[in-house]
Amino acid sequence: MAQLVLATDDTGRPEIFSSLQGEGPSAGMPVAFVRLSRCNLACVWCDTAYTWHFDGDDRPHRDGKTFGRKANQVTLDATAVAERILALGQKHLVITGGEPLMQAAALADLLAALPDMEIEIETNGTVKPPSHVDIRVDQYNVSPKLAHSGNAAELALIPERLDDYAADPRAYFKFVIAQASDVDEVLALQARYRFPASRTFLMPEGTDSATLREREEWLAPLCLKHGFRMSDRLHIHLYGDTRGT
């Protein structure tokens, strides 16, 4: 059985937990979460930098903080992960990261052990899901990274991947918006890849309620103007910027 590399919660245990989905089309739904470690991108505002910004990684992050790999990663075989997920008693599983599709081989083993769960994968949209993973996925939450993330476009916006997701009715797009001009970049991507506004969410960047509310005031009219959906970050309002929530 393949092994998965998971992020840890504040106690050092694998970050596997029940909560309400905080973002996107499933917001408010009771779900099980599993957070995998490692990412192929490096967003300067990432709120889960403990999954990738380890000691010795000199890629920029606004907090200027790095994390010990040993204290923030744990490896478990897929069967053990599945057992912990099933013990939570939820019907819907959200697999997040990091970038979970970097661990596709072990992910396939995990999904095979959870045949009755609905599966939602959160991805940055740069990694192609292999067929033995894709066949089990009910929903993709695709979050392409805009210029303000600090990632080079050739790494973060891969045309073949965006074409595939735009054509997949299971895929919803979620863009992190820090300022109104970011929406112009979304519109340019929409014009090129033709993903429908009805499957596109604009979400304010922020890790506290005050910042989210302030940005939602100017983001809501832009969603109305362009026909996009707006996503809040429910978990931030409920639990703050904390692990395992």
Per domain, the residue ranges of the chain are: 3-175
The listed CATH number (3.40.50.1100, 3.40.30.10, 3.40.190.10, 3.20.20.70) that belongs to domain 3-175: 3.20.20.70
Q: What is the pLDDT of residues 172-200, one digit of tens each?
A: 999 999 999 999 999 999 999 999 999 99
pLDDT exceeds cutoff 80 at 1: no
CA–CA dist 162, 173 (Å, integer): 10
Task: Check residue 37 and give its pLDDT.
Answer: 98
Query: What pLDDT was estimated at residue 197?
Result: 97
Q: Give the 3-state secondary structure percentages of the chain, helix then strand then coil, rounded to 5.
A: 35, 20, 40
**Residue 100 in 3-state DSSP?**
helix
- The stretches of 131-202 forming alpha helices (DSSP H) are 131-134, 153-156, 159-166, 182-193
pLDDT category of residue 11 using cuts at 50, 70 and 90:
very high
What does pLDDT average to over the chain? 97
Cα dist. 78→25, 88, 151, 221 in Å?
A: 27, 16, 31, 44
176/142 Cα distance (integer angstroms): 11
Task: Give the global pTM.
Answer: 0.97
Contact present, 144 and 153 (Cβ < 8 Å): no
pLDDT higher than 80, residue 149: yes
- Alpha carbon of 205 to those of 7, 119, 212, 216: distances in Å? 22, 25, 7, 10
